[in-house]
Structure 1
């Protein structure tokens, strides 16, 4: 069956305006969560220069929320499958706000790590729930575009964090900077409460088990594996582009944060573009393979030009940011469509758990690699992961459904 023939619940039970308003709320929820999850990466310069932490130690602080996300995504997906998207979004965003307040009020480094971990654990709720809102309310022929818009939330959130958290931390300290994601999550919770409705689901006969999609074939497992490989260069660029610009290129934190923010906006637009492309070509996975190949070339060129200290390396950081985030929406949509309405919460949780497991390891390990080998070598090593991922994308299995 084609993407346009995939079984879906009815979607014409709300107005078009309400459907798009829920997409906006889901996007804001994911963006606010991204500021909370990825924002601590932009505390690395302050932690390193003012607090005296090594890059590896500062990277561990930055990884605390992603570790929290990693450990709770499947659980949030399980709750989403049973209690619904609205409940999970409101509960999760509320808890994220409380943990964010705690992190902004503490001056103890160990407590900061703990509160950031809890904030990430709560923010994980938006990954499964807000994605299900989009898949549940939009028909298959519009899901690529809709999910591309929703997935732009992550780079937009990272961009907001780059342009705000780094600057506030540099001028006013770590605690002041942590109010940025906290306020963002509180506002997102209010909007979700105002507009989000649980999407309809097909009728399910009581006592009838739903087939486990993981036992049917290796499709979902391969998508998870590909996404893990592709997240490595993404987190590498996200975590260390700003530090590279400041330390190696002599940029101010404000200027470096502004460039990273612009790159994240470009990445957000790129997600929309590849989502629309997937709707047009009737495939999520062919564009996913194209993105993997583009990421390989871009990261290799970034490593080379950084080693040669060429000015074009700065432009390539922007391109690398755009390319390395473009895959998420494609994989996310493919997982949700294959898993179905009664397994998508858990499948999306597993998808993001695998990504965050890899992502949480990137900052400390890349910090060690940079300390030993330098930024250029670390960027070049990042090209190996999408190179391995490209042939693993199950394009043939998707075509077999046509």
Structure 2
């Protein structure tokens, strides 16, 4: 391998992470707009919750299609086209008025932005050897709490001074800039050499149900994540009496800590050579913390606030692990589609969380919402496979050091 290719894997990781961060900010950060949507546009809590869920509905329509594009044509075109399409839809949402046109445009933004779920993980996995994939995917998955942190810090003051339209415009710029950067600098990872006409069997035909169980576990673990992300700001402002700016700042810091937790989880999984083992322990820790949150919310204890902030990190801690497990098992010919199905299962599980949880919170408070969320990681622990399974990806090219020194991998 020549010298300029030594840092290529890290450049690809940076590009994949940037794309995921922009998409997360635009598509998952919108719950931080709920107070502004209620105040400026007169929406109910359930109605505002439904509007901010529209991108998630769009993601459901786009995931498997983008996975097929990434598997057949490469990660770079899938990411570029998807992010630029999302930018156009978000720019339209910024200019639109009324409840229905922005809702449709946000659905379209979700369709475009979903490309990062299917293609950016494949881009990262393909450029790193097995012993570094946990950390690499931890960095890539850290983009989700980073994007949420950016939304928590920027959206409330931006919406307060300039309205929700300014937030949509800000998101359009983010997606457009990262899509352009990927178009200019991304390089697809190595692909396995195959004889013409030879097809790799679908990993879902193995008969052991491994992928389906990982998909189901991820879907279960996403429910408490969306509950905490969607209602932490409202809980702190309505129940604890915090200002929106103060709550947004603290939640941004908590989400940054969540990014660190994902990195540690990835490093841990590389050290022990397992994705499912650390995932099981982190799911147990999430369940325990959510039980503490329920108790703190029920008895108006400061411990509830502390547990909520801790949950901002714990509920996202396993995302890199189950995405890595799926890609490693599916292999290079099916990883894009498998990650698409994986993401589709998660979003199908949580698409109704904001409106349903909002209706439950409006009628009965936040304690039952958090109590229901605590049950999902317990179910995930029961369903999680006992051990990892994976297939070989093409070896990442290596170079030989001068004077016959050791081989150094990318």
Query: Are 2:8 and 1:18 aligned?
Result: yes
Query: Are 2:134 and 1:132 aligned?
Result: no
Secondary structure of 2:29 counterpart: helix
Contact 1:165–1:178 (Cα < 8 Å) also in 2: no
Distance in 2 of aligned mates of 1:89 and 1:317: 34
The residue that corresponds to 1:172 in the other structure is 162
Distance in 1 of aligned mates of 2:96 and 2:43: 18
State the superposition RMSD in angstroms: 1.7
Query: Are 2:334 and 1:381 aligned?
Result: no
Distance in 1 of aligned mates of 2:289 and 2:148: 20
Secondary structure of 1:178 counterpart: helix
Query: Are 2:139 and 1:149 aligned?
Result: yes
The residue that corresponds to 1:358 in the other structure is 349
Gaps spanning 5+ residues in structure 2: where? 393-410
Secondary structure of 2:79 counterpart: helix
Superimposed CA distance per residue, residues 128-179 of structure 1 (whole angstroms, 9 cap, x where no aligned partner): 1111110111111000000000000011001111111122112211101212
Secondary structure of 2:190 counterpart: coil
Distance in 2 of aligned mates of 1:53 and 1:331: 36
Structure 1 residues 68-217: aligned runs within 5 Å: 68-216=58-206, 217=208
The residue that corresponds to 2:53 in the other structure is 63
The residue that corresponds to 2:325 in the other structure is 334
Q: Which stretch shows the higher mean deviation, 337-346 or 206-215?
A: 206-215
Contact 1:18–1:195 (Cα < 8 Å) also in 2: no
Distance in 1 of aligned mates of 2:64 and 2:157: 34
Could you tell me how far 1:397 is from its partner in structure 2? 5.7
Q: Which stretch shows the higher mean deviation, 122-131 or 37-46?
A: 37-46
Distance in 1 of aligned mates of 2:5 and 2:169: 36
Secondary structure of 1:367 counterpart: helix
Distance in 2 of aligned mates of 1:141 and 1:314: 37
Could you tell me how far 1:52 is from its partner in structure 2? 2.5
The number of residue pairs the alignment matches comes to 391
Could you tell me how far 1:269 is from its partner in structure 2? 0.7
Could you tell me how far 1:13 is from its partner in structure 2? 9.4
Distance in 1 of aligned mates of 2:170 and 2:239: 27
Is the alpha carbon distance of 1:291 and 1:13 closer, same or farther for their aligned partners in structure 2, counting shifts above 3 Å?
A: farther
Gaps spanning 5+ residues in structure 1: where? 1-10
Distance in 1 of aligned mates of 2:303 and 2:309: 10
The residue that corresponds to 2:303 in the other structure is 312
Q: TM-score, normalised by structure 2?
A: 0.92
The residue that corresponds to 1:275 in the other structure is 266
Could you tell me how far 1:87 is from its partner in structure 2? 0.6
Query: Are 2:227 and 1:257 aligned?
Result: no
Could you tell me how far 1:226 is from its partner in structure 2? 0.4
Contact 1:97–1:182 (Cα < 8 Å) also in 2: yes
The residue that corresponds to 1:242 in the other structure is 233
Superimposed CA distance per residue, residues 14-34 of structure 1 (whole angstroms, 9 cap, x where no aligned partner): 623221111111100000000
Query: Are 2:336 and 1:345 aligned?
Result: yes
Distance in 1 of aligned mates of 2:69 and 2:281: 34
> Which portions of structure 1, spanning 4 or more consecutive aligned residues, are displaced by more than 4 angstroms?
11-14
Is the alpha carbon distance of 1:203 and 1:24 closer, same or farther for their aligned partners in structure 2, counting shifts above 3 Å?
A: same
Contact 2:327–2:339 (Cα < 8 Å) also in 1: yes
Is the alpha carbon distance of 1:56 and 1:12 closer, same or farther for their aligned partners in structure 2, counting shifts above 3 Å?
A: farther
The residue that corresponds to 2:406 in the other structure is none
Could you tell me how far 1:372 is from its partner in structure 2? 2.3
Could you tell me how far 1:193 is from its partner in structure 2? 2.1
Q: TM-score, normalised by structure 1?
A: 0.94
Distance in 2 of aligned mates of 1:155 and 1:319: 13
Q: Which stretch shows the higher mean deviation, 48-57 or 355-364?
A: 48-57
The residue that corresponds to 2:293 in the other structure is 302
Q: Which stretch shows the higher mean deviation, 49-58 or 281-290?
A: 49-58
